[in-house]
Every structure is written in C-alpha cells, then in structure tokens.
Amino acid sequence: MTGLNSLQETVRARLQRLPIPDLPELTCAQALVDAQTVGGVLQLQLDFGYPCGEHAEAIVAQVRSVLSPDYSAVDVQIRWHAAKVATINNQSTIPGVRNIVAIASGKGGVGKSTTAVNIALALAAAGARVGILDADIYGPSQALMLGVADRRPEMHSANKMKPIHAHGVQMISMGNLVTETTPVVWRGPMVSGALQQLLNQTHWDDVDYLIVDMPPGTGDIQLTLSQAVPVSGAVIVTTPQDIALLDARKGIEMFRKVNIPVLGVVENMSLHVCSNCGHEEAIFGTAGGERLASQYQTRLLGRLPLQMSICEQTDSGNPPLVAEPTSAVAEKYRAIALQMTALLWQKSLSGAAVPTISISDD
C-alpha cells in the first residue's frame, strides 16, 4: 500500500499482527485505507475485498483490542467490495460480470452441483451480487435445485436473454431451455457452442461472482470455458474416497494445464452422523481432501457432512442456505464461500494475474 502518512503507517504496522478470522494469510492491515485522529479518537476506515460482514464484529473487536490502549477511543468503519482478479490474456470479459469461479469435480456423484448452488446462495446472503451458470449441458440440475425448473428466460434484447432470479441469485441453465424429459443429444462442438451462448447471450446484471457449475470430467466444456472467458479461479469438490481423489487430481491438473488457479478443495460427504443415535462414521474414508490440498499446495476450504436433509432440501428447490440458514450445514457453506472470495481478494492484492491460456498435448 502506498501514499500512507506516518499515522497510517503506524496503524498499519499494528494491524499487521491481526489475521482475519479463518484466514491467517490475510491481515486487517491489507484493508486499511484511512486513519486519522479527531479529538483523541482514532478513526479507521477498512475496505475489504470480499463480503466480510460475517467477520465484521470480530474484526472490529480485534482492532480495538490492539489500538485502544493508545487512544481515548477507536472508531472502526468497515466496508467491502468484490475485488476483481486481474487478467493479462486477450479473452473478452463478460459484460456485467466481475469474477468467474468454476466449481468442478473429476467425477460425478460427489455433490458438486449442490456445493455450487449453496456457495452461490451463501454469497448472496452475505450481500454479494451473484450469478450461477449451469454448464452441465447434458445433465443440468440447477433449475431444479433453485426451484425454477418450470420457468423460461425472458428476452432482454434481440440477442440477449434475462437471467432467471431465484432466492436472490441470477441463474441460467439448459434446464430452463428444454423440458425435463428432453435429452441433449449433441456432439462436442454443439455443446461448446451452447456454453458460449449461455455465457455471452445472458444479460448478467452487475454480478460480483458468477459461479459456474461445471460438468464432471476434463472435456470440451472445461476447455471451452478456459479459452472463452477469463476465469478467476476454480474450486474442486471431492469425497474422501480414493477413486474420487484420483479423478479430482486429474481435475486439478487440467486447471493447471490451462493456467486457471485452483483456490481450494471442498471435501464433501466427509462424515455421516446417524439421525437416530448420533453415531459418527467416515463412510468414504478420512482426510482425503486434506491430503489432496496438501499435495497441490492449495487450501482445504471445508468439509461437508453426508446428511439426508441436504439432499431433501436441495431436491425440493430450497437448499440448506434457504431452508435452514442458521443450521450448522449452512454455516459450513458460508465459511467455504467467504474463504473462496477472500482468496480471490488476496490474488488481487498480490497483483498476480491469470496468465494467457496455453494448451499443449503433453
């Protein structure tokens, strides 16, 4: 940070010792934009690059505990913005979208779509403007999960359609363009073209984070997304099971090959708690997501339980963030979502840009 006066430099040095809750890599010092004294009162302005409202009270308490001994009072004002990760390639940005985050998995059946929709809803609840694009052209599920499977998008202009609004999130999916019983029987180029149309022919309205629910695997859709638009980062969803981890590794390697940073790993179905007796059992093994994150020098964003209510609520069009926003499961999704966006902020602070796409055959 440049252009700080002596008071600001002093405060910044003190705040350097205060990590943001759950994010030891980031400190309150990185959010300092102004510090001044008025009548012995220290007035601070902190501007965070992610929706930090859930942490605001804890942050204010930490800041006051460090600085109060030197001042009669400490007034802390907190605001936030959605930091945009810089890109240096020549890809066209999507109008109305600041950041694109891919939620991916190496194989199907690990809860990727459920994770994607709850991350989107968590960010919306935190005050961010959020969109979700269902990129699983063959097996779209977001329309059902958000309870809008019977709705069709309206036209905004001759070549743009309006996203559908559901639970405070803008969304578009092939599930809203075909009937539930209509199969999408397309070859690869047609699928890639459909994805680009969904991306570029949707009139996204000032979206901070566009969550892209990717299909499983490492095929046409993944390559099309990486080449067509600047993706800010990716999150890998896996279960602790060895076979799922094997495919998750392929997903991480694929994102590395197309130079998209992996923000972290989500371990789904990590623990089952019996609803009758409370017995806990790691049905699919233990610590698989942690080992995967460690192997690739990324972050384990969170562990999610194998719980019937998650399935029931999501299938009914009211995912946990809507049905039970104060539940322990909803809290886990919120923590994952905020870590993800805070890591994007960290990348923007470091000046690290998403590099030019380079695809090879090796």
pLDDT digits 0-9 by tens, 79-90: 999 999 876 555
Question: pLDDT tens digits, residue range 192-214?
Answer: 788 888 888 999 999 999 999 99
**pLDDT tens track for 291-346:** 999 999 999 999 999 888 898 999 999 999 999 999 999 999 999 999 999 999 99
The percent helix, strand, coil of the chain (3-state, each to 5) is 35, 25, 40
- Better-scored residue on pLDDT, 287 or 133: 133
The string of DSSP codes covering 35-86 is EEEETTEEEEEEEESS--HHHHHHHHHHHHHHHGGGSSEEEEEEEE--PPPP
> Residue 31's pLDDT band (boundaries 50, 70, 90)?
very high
Residue 249 near residue 205, CB atoms below 8 Å: no
With a cut of 50, say whether residue 263 has pLDDT above it: yes
What per-residue confidence (pLDDT) applies to 179? 62
**Extents of the domains making up the chain:** 6-80, 97-350
CA distance to 20, 115, 289, per residue, from 285 (Å): 31, 20, 10
**How high is the pLDDT of residue 2?**
46
Most confident of 23-27, 79-83, 353-357: 79-83
Q: What's the confidence (pLDDT) of residue 359?
A: 41
Q: Tens digit of pLDDT for each residue in 38-80?
A: 888 999 999 999 999 888 999 999 999 999 888 889 999 999 9
HSE-up of 51 (CA within 13 Å, CB side)? 20
* pLDDT tens digits for range 155-181: 998 889 999 999 999 999 988 887 665
Q: Tell me the residue type at 345.
A: W
Most confident of 84-88, 226-230, 249-253: 249-253
Going by pLDDT thresholds of 50, 70 and 90, the confidence category of residue 355 is: very low
Average pLDDT, the chain: 86
pLDDT above 70 covers what percent of the chain? 90
Cβ count within 10 A of residue 9: 12
pLDDT average, residue stretch 245-250: 90
**CATH top-level class for 97-350?**
alpha beta
pLDDT above 70: residue 351: no
**What is the spatial distance between Cα 308 and Cα 306, in angstroms, rounded to a whole number?**
7
pLDDT of residue 144: 93
**Span 6-80: which CATH code?**
3.30.300.130
**Of 18-27, 81-90, 134-143, 293-302, where does mean pLDDT reach its minimum?**
81-90
pLDDT at 1 over 50: no
